[in-house]
Structure 1
């Protein structure tokens, strides 16, 4: 399979998804500050305030398949959704990843953005997608269910933070 081409934009009724920009790093850091305390420490702001906005800005280009999610009506950045090859054993089976600011939760934006990304993956020729989700993260599990991901019963990690479960979506 040819490498997946990152689109200039994906559009839905309410959202515009496009490649992330370094100047948005403060919003992406805000996502870190809003994370549930059950998220493992390495994915939260540490006692020294890391990652900083500069740290996050330096990594924005490192995941080109993650797209900024903006509300169409206001252009407000509300999070990200996209594909990452991080941790994938096969380049034709990327991982779906999404995270939205708390103020955007409960409005169906994650599902709407996820549908656009799943369609992008399908059009790119991906045979399947996978995603991991913490067992306690009921909202994300529900989004993945709406996107027709199936929980496989495979636990990828288990710790005091819960169980990280594998889900898959055949395209």
Structure 2
């Protein structure tokens, strides 16, 4: 079945975002096996394939059920040709309110520098604020991840915090993590 026929979530000019299926484990394994993709997440260490099969994929599929398909991790494909380029995420914290959600993405190296992160994220922000009743969207990355920070800033998100979580050290972690936020636009009718 073509990606365009699988549980479509959102389309942009160049991207199709769809729900993952139980048959997509190898897409996640391939993505997480690239040391450059994983640089700011694990210091370049790949996610073990058995962990993706046993934990990651079942958890993300369960999130669709938990949030009625409204939130979760979605596979990203180029509309022209259907090539898998990575994933985007729009989801609340596990036990958090559904009007405060995390925005994120993980893209294959071949998709970097093409504006896909900004395009997909902007479409998700629009969906969050116009269809899903979201009040605030947040995103986090390492301070030294300038590429992701640039995307957050292009989206109009504001840097609200730098912090140092208790995580295993990876190159650049001494500079901390950053959190960006954006709130739903308000319509002021002057009333």
Q: TM-score, normalised by structure 1?
A: 0.82
Alignment of 1:1-171 (within 5 A): 8-34=8-34, 35-40=37-42, 44-45=45-46, 49-55=48-54, 56-64=56-64, 65-86=72-93, 89-123=96-130, 124-155=132-163, 157=165, 160-161=169-170, 162=173, 163-171=176-184
Query: Could you tell which deviates more after superposition, 72-81 or 86-95?
Result: 86-95
What SS does structure 1 have at the residue aligned with 2:41?
coil
Distance in 2 of aligned mates of 1:148 and 1:24: 32
Q: What residue is the counterpart of 1:4 in the other structure?
A: none
Greater Cα offset, 82-91 or 26-35? 82-91
Structure 2 Cα separation of the partners of residues 155 and 122 of structure 1: 27
Q: Unpaired segments of 5 or more residues in structure 1?
A: 1-6
**What is the CA deviation profile of residues 84-124 of structure 1, one whole-angstrom value per residue up to 9, with x for unaligned ones?**
22357432101112111111111001111001100110112
C-alpha distance in 2 between matches for 1:95 and 1:53: 21
Greater shift, 102-111 or 63-72, is seen at 63-72
In the alignment, is the contact (CA less than 8 A) between 1:135 and 1:164 conserved in 2?
A: yes
Which structure exhibits the higher relative contact order, with contacts defined as CA atoms closer than 8 Å and separated by 6 or more residues? 1
Query: Could you state the TM-score of these two structures normalised by the residue count of structure 2?
Result: 0.74
Closer/same/farther in 2, CA of residues 97 and 51 from structure 1, 3 Å limit: farther
Gaps of 5+ in 2: 1-6, 65-71, 185-191
Instruction: Kindly report the root-mean-square deviation, in angstroms, between the aligned alpha carbons of the 2 structures.
Output: 2.4
Of stretches 120-129 and 24-33 in structure 1, the one that deviates more from structure 2 is 24-33
> Following the alignment from structure 1 to structure 2, what is the Cα–Cα distance between the partners of residues 15 and 39?
24
Kept in 1: contact 2:159–2:178 (CA 8 A): yes
Work out whether residues 89 and 105 of structure 2, in 8 Å CA contact, stay in contact via their aligned partners in 1.
yes
Q: How far apart in 1 are the matches of 2:45 and 2:95?
A: 23
